[in-house]
């Protein structure tokens, strides 16, 4: 800093910026400029107010922010899948229609069994009717399963690698889901088949009405419902109707073992009363049994489909999935 009067040079510090200091020789008051003053006095940019798009003037309205519903995690993922059943009109209509089909299927099956035991020639009429009801009910079950599965698995966007279904191809759905269930049933009913073969060839002497065969039959059904998710998710993931066991799904049995245990436990909890009432209640209260079990089976089938959708969503969140 130089004094304008005596031309004396002296130094100033940052603490003198913007102040008047005396010259050490002539004591003249000198103003020390502040180099940061232009920065301090720089006006702040004003915030632009959001303006509503004028569609008449040709403005394009901004897109609405994407809203994505997040599913719960952990155990609540499956509790939510059971308790938050979507009671919308469309779902109720599908549930009622499926219950009606199951009712007529049960009626034709029971009539076919009764005809086989009493009037064998009546099978000529009841056997084709039973086969037709199996096809109708099976196709409806396949459509409901695939629809609920995709809806529950976060709209199928988070579930990557699943097989694509044509929404108009009922026959394809029946063949694909029916084929997977048939192979699962074959695996689940191996103990029952072996027991029947041993009884037929005299290796076991059991009375059908009071033998363990009925118990093994019911347990085989539960095993089938536990094997079906593994085979279904494997075939969906591999885009192959013959790929019944996928390495990623097998790994998930160990990495997400508690998720699989929840799904299997809830499945058995719902299906076990149906098995007991179907095979024991049909003898004592056949009419009440049919009227009650048809809607009950439809409801637990919908719950079963929702649980598998939640399980697929949980497996897809694994970092090793891609």
Contacts of 233 (CB under 8 A, 6+ apart): 246, 249, 308, 311, 312, 315
For residue 273, the SS3 value is helix
Task: Return left, alpha or beta for 245; rule: phi > 0 is left, psi -120 to 50 is alpha, else beta.
Answer: beta
Q: Is residue 46 part of a domain?
A: no
Instruction: Tell me the two tokens of residue 132.
Output: 């037709």
Contacts of 155 (CB under 8 A, 6+ apart): none
**Boundaries of domain holding 102:** 76-316
With a cut of 50, which residues of the chain have pLDDT below it?
A: 66-67, 155-156, 158, 160-161, 166-168, 319, 321-322
Specify whether 140 is located in the same domain as 260.
yes
Q: Is residue 194 part of a domain?
A: yes
Specify whether 112 is located in the same domain as 163.
yes
Specify whether 115 is located in the same domain as 239.
yes
For residue 103, the SS3 value is helix
Specify whether 20 is located in the same domain as 167.
no
Specify whether 90 is located in the same domain as 235.
yes
Specify whether 14 is located in the same domain as 146.
no
pTM of the model: 0.60
Specify whether 146 is located in the same domain as 21.
no
What was the pLDDT predicted at 106?
73
Domain total of the chain: 2
Instruction: Round to whole Å and give the CA distance between 255 and 258.
Output: 8
Task: Return left, alpha or beta for 202; rule: phi > 0 is left, psi -120 to 50 is alpha, else beta.
Answer: left
Q: Is residue 155 part of a domain?
A: yes
The string of pLDDT tens digits covering residues 284-309 is 776 766 777 778 887 888 878 777 77
């Amino acid at each position: 800093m130089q004094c304008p009067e005596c031309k004396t040079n002296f130094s100033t510090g940052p603490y003198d910026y913007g102040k008047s200091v005396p010259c050490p020789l002539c004591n003249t008051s000198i103003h020390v400029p502040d180099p940061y003053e232009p920065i301090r006095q720089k006006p702040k940019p004003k915030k632009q107010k959001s303006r509503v798009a004028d569609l008449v003037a040709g403005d394009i309205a901004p897109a609405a922010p994407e809203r994505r519903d997040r599913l719960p995690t952990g155990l609540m993922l499956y509790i939510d899948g059971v308790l938050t059943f979507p009671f919308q009109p469309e779902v109720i209509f599908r549930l009622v229609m499926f219950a009606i089909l199951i009712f007529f299927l049960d009626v034709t099956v029971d009539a076919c069994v009764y005809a086989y035991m009493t009037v064998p020639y009546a099978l000529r009429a009841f056997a084709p009717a039973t086969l037709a009801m199996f096809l109708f009910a099976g196709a409806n079950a396949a459509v409901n399963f695939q629809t609920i599965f995709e809806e529950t698995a976060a709209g199928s966007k988070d579930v990557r690698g699943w097989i694509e279904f044509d929404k108009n191809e009922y026959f394809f759905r029946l063949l694909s889901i029916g084929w997977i269930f048939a192979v699962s049933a074959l695996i689940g009913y191996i103990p029952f088949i072996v027991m029947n073969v041993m009884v037929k060839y005299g290796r076991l002497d059991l009375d059908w009405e009071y033998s363990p065969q009925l118990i093994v039959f019911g347990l085989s059904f539960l095993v089938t419902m536990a094997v079906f998710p593994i085979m279904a998710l494997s075939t969906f993931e591999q885009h192959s109707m013959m790929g019944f066991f996928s390495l990623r799904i097998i790994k998930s049995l160990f990495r997400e073992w508690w998720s699989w245990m929840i799904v299997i436990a809830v499945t058995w909890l719902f299906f076990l009363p149906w098995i007991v009432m179907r095979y024991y209640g049909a003898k004592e209260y056949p009419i009440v049994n049919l009227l009650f079990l048809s809607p009950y089976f439809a409801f637990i089938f919908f719950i079963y489909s929702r649980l598998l959708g939640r399980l697929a969503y949980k497996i897809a969140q694994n970092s090793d999935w891609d």
